[in-house]
A = this chain, B = another copy of it.
């Protein structure tokens, strides 16, 4: 493109030497958009000989596929013409009514008219971002936070400010401090994004008293709470916890999903929002996808109506509990002193803190070489943090594979520590700082 003006600085920084002839025509937001550096590695990690503890894929093979097949054939025979037609942008009213019944399990009272069906709850995240976030707006999010949400906020050119958490979830005092620091800079956060149950990636849940404290702090600061709850029904030894949205309706946007309780491949999620906001979300969704997938929605609706779906959730819970147990016992058996990890009581994830001096991202290529994969902690931070952490997902592999994977990973940790003790800290230091600082990276779907 001889004679064309130079691309904006962001483009050069992102692409190093840009060979993209379209670069000067992209929108500003596009220049920060690039694939995570670890993606190529995961192409290798998906080989069968590698035990992947990376992806958060539900174990769909446990679904009653034969009876679902009969159900879907019946749906097509009796109502196929409408199940294959466009639907309203808000989603089918009967499905929305059923969704309110699902939310009632966590103490939520809501009208179907305030529910918007979305293409997975990822689209709900994006719609909320579209409706509320201008470039430069601040979103508060747990440290660490869900990589898909960070990608969406980044795509909205928002600034993510992390708030510390511990084994009881988001720390109210840290939230107040973050708000105070923002106020001191003359800034205000628009949203507080939180995953209160069986957190992705941290594997912890927000305690009962903290839920009310967090809501009170958010309310007094005028910050809307974005409650993302895909795992709420997947607690192993406890009743579903009472949602934030069950405590107040005006200040909370609640995101739900059937991806973990039924199937992610249907892409059916939802957002429950105050009425005025709901209207904007529907308009934004229509401009984005016209309407959610009618057929997927009809399948979910029929599944909830005709199949023993809560029994099936129990099947999933038992399966994931067994895998969680396999993970925790293998970690206790094999991992070195100095490593710590969370003990999830539900959901899919264990969050590991490595011994001082180890770097999870620098270590990943060696782990993949040793035939085990995980997601480095840096993916869950918008500010370059997380290098001493990694996420292990136990949802997909069989328990024996999990034990083998943890054993392999422990061996890698030992080698790393040894290298470090012989050659000093540089031997295990991060391979580069390119990925530090604020990024606009999006997750590969099977890693989210």
Contact = CB atoms under 8 A, between A and B. Distances in A.
B76 A290 contact: no
Contacts of A72: 69, 72-73, 76
A442 B286 contact: yes
B286 A88 contact: no
A77 interface: yes
Contact of A30 (B21, B58, B123, B280): B280
Contacts of A410: none
A286 B443 contact: yes
B22 A276 contact: yes
Contacts of A265: 82-87, 293-295, 298
A88 B444 contact: yes
A70 B286 CA distance: 32
Nearest to A285: B442
Nearest to A80: B65
A81 B443 CA distance: 22
B63 A80 contact: yes
A85 to B, nearest CB: 5
Given A63-B81, A295-B266, A131 B26 contact: yes
A393 interface: no
Contacts of A60: 80-82, 84-85
A288 B123 contact: yes
Interface string A48-91: 00000001011011010110111011111100111111111100
Interface string A257-291: 00000011111000000101101100110111111
Contacts of A26: 131-132, 280
Contacts of A70: 73
Q: How many copies does the complex hold?
A: 2
Contact of A65 (B55, B76, B88): B76
Contacts of A34: 283
A35 B283 contact: yes
A310 to B, nearest CB: 18
A30 B27 CA distance: 19
A151 interface: yes
B264 A84 contact: yes
B73 A69 contact: yes
Contact of A119 (B119, B130, B274): B119
A432 interface: no
Given A73-B72, A264-B294, A295-B263, A446 B289 contact: no
Interface in A70-122: 70, 72-77, 80-89, 119-120, 122
Contacts of A55: 86
Interface string A11-54: 00000000111110111111001110000000000000000000
A81 B58 CA distance: 10
20 contacts: A25-B190, A30-B132, A30-B284, A55-B86, A57-B85, A60-B84, A65-B80, A68-B76, A69-B73, A82-B265, A88-B445, A119-B293, A126-B287, A152-B287, A265-B295, A267-B294, A286-B444, A289-B289, A295-B296, A295-B299
Given A35-B279, A66-B76, A265-B294, 18 more contacts: A21-B274, A21-B276, A26-B280, A27-B137, A33-B283, A60-B85, A69-B74, A70-B73, A73-B73, A85-B265, A86-B264, A86-B265, A119-B293, A122-B290, A148-B290, A152-B287, A155-B287, A286-B445
The 5 closest A-B pairs by CB, nearest first: A265-B294, A65-B80, A69-B73, A84-B263, A69-B76
Interface of A: 19-23, 25-30, 33-35, 55, 57-58, 60-61, 63, 65-66, 68-70, 72-77, 80-89, 119-120, 122-123, 126, 130-134, 137, 148, 151-152, 154-155, 190, 222, 224, 250, 263-267, 274, 276-277, 279-280, 283-284, 286-296, 298-299, 442-446, 448
